[in-house]
Structure 1
Amino acid sequence: MTIATVPADEIPGAEGVFDTPGRQLLADLVSIPSPSGKEDKATAHLASFFEAQGREAWIDDAGNVRAPGDDSVLLTSHIDTVPGEIPARIEDGDPELAAEGPVLWGRGSVDATGPLAAMAVAAVDTGASFVGVVGEETDSRGARHLLEDREAPEAVINGEPSGWDAITLGYRGIVGGDYTVTTPAGHGARPDANAINHATAWWERVRAAVAAENEGKEAGGFDTITPRATGMEAGPTDDGTAVVASMATRFRVPPSETPDSVRVLVEDSLEAGEIEWGQSIPPQVSSPRGSVPAALRKGIRDAGGEPTHLHKTGTADANLYAAGWDVPVATYGPGDASLDHAPDERLPLAAFDRAVAVLTTACEQLRD
Structure 2
Amino acid sequence: MNASMTDQTDVSAADARQLLIDLVSTPSPSDAETDAAEVLVEFFESYGREAWLDEVGNVRAPADDSVLLTSHVDTVPGEIPVEVEPADENDLEQDVADELGEDVLWGRGSVDATGPLAAMAAAAVRTGVSFVGVVGEETSSRGARHLVDERSEPDAVVNGEPSGTTGITLGYRGFLAGTYVATSESGHTSRPEPNAIQHATNWWNGVEAAFENDEYTAVFERVTAKPVDIDGGISEDGLSVEATLDVQLRIPPSLDAESVRETAEAGLEIGTVSWAEPIPPVMESPRTEVARAFRVAIRNEVGDPRLLRKTGTSDMNLYAGEWDCPMVTYGPGNSDLDHAPDERLSLAEFDRSVAVLEGVSTTLRGGEE
TM-score by length of 2: 0.92
> Does structure 1 conserve the Cα–Cα contact (< 8 Å) formed by 2:165 and 2:302?
no
Structure 1 residues 133-170: Cα deviation after superposition (integer angstroms, max 9, x where no partner): 00000110000000011000000000000001110010
Q: How does 1:176-325 map to 2 (within 5 A)?
A: 176-211=177-212, 214-215=213-214, 217-218=216-217, 221-325=219-323
> Does structure 1 conserve the Cα–Cα contact (< 8 Å) formed by 2:289 and 2:326?
yes
User: Secondary structure in 2 aligned to 1:166?
Assistant: strand
1:60 equivalent among 54, 63, 83: 54
> Does structure 1 conserve the Cα–Cα contact (< 8 Å) formed by 2:166 and 2:306?
yes
Give the residue type in structure 1 aligned to 2:71: S
Instruction: Please report how far the alpha carbon of residue 97 of structure 1 lies from its aligned counterpart in structure 2 after TM superposition.
Output: 3.8
Query: In structure 1, what is the equivalent of residue 169 of structure 2?
Result: 168
Q: How does 1:37-186 map to 2 (within 5 A)?
A: 37-98=31-92, 99-100=99-100, 101-186=102-187
Q: How does 1:307-346 map to 2 (within 5 A)?
A: 307-346=305-344
Count of aligned residue pairs for this structure pair: 348
CA distance in 1, matches of 2:347, 2:166: 14
User: Secondary structure in 1 aligned to 2:297?
Assistant: helix
> Does structure 2 conserve the Cα–Cα contact (< 8 Å) formed by 1:234 and 1:243?
yes
User: Secondary structure in 1 aligned to 2:233?
Assistant: strand
User: Secondary structure in 1 aligned to 2:164?
Assistant: coil
CA distance in 2, matches of 1:202, 1:45: 47
Unaligned runs of 5+ in 2: 1-11, 93-98
Give the residue type in structure 1 aligned to 2:214: E
CA distance in 1, matches of 2:89, 2:359: 29
Give the residue type in structure 2 aligned to 1:44: E
CA distance in 2, matches of 1:261, 1:96: 44
Unaligned runs of 5+ in 1: 1-17
CA distance in 2, matches of 1:141, 1:269: 32
> Does structure 1 conserve the Cα–Cα contact (< 8 Å) formed by 2:73 and 2:134?
yes
Instruction: Please report how far the alpha carbon of residue 256 of structure 1 lies from its aligned counterpart in structure 2 after TM superposition.
Output: 1.0
Query: Quick check: 290-299 or 155-164, which moved more?
Result: 290-299
Query: In structure 1, what is the equivalent of residue 9 of structure 2?
Result: none
CA distance in 2, matches of 1:322, 1:52: 32
Give the residue type in structure 2 aligned to 1:49: F
Instruction: Please report how far the alpha carbon of residue 95 of structure 1 lies from its aligned counterpart in structure 2 after TM superposition.
Output: 1.9
Structure 1 residues 178-200: Cα deviation after superposition (integer angstroms, max 9, x where no partner): 00010011111111110011111
CA distance in 1, matches of 2:13, 2:353: 16
What percent of counterpart residues are identical? 56
> Does structure 2 conserve the Cα–Cα contact (< 8 Å) formed by 1:122 and 1:356?
yes
Structure 1 residues 70-125: Cα deviation after superposition (integer angstroms, max 9, x where no partner): 00000000000011111111121132342321000110000000000000000000
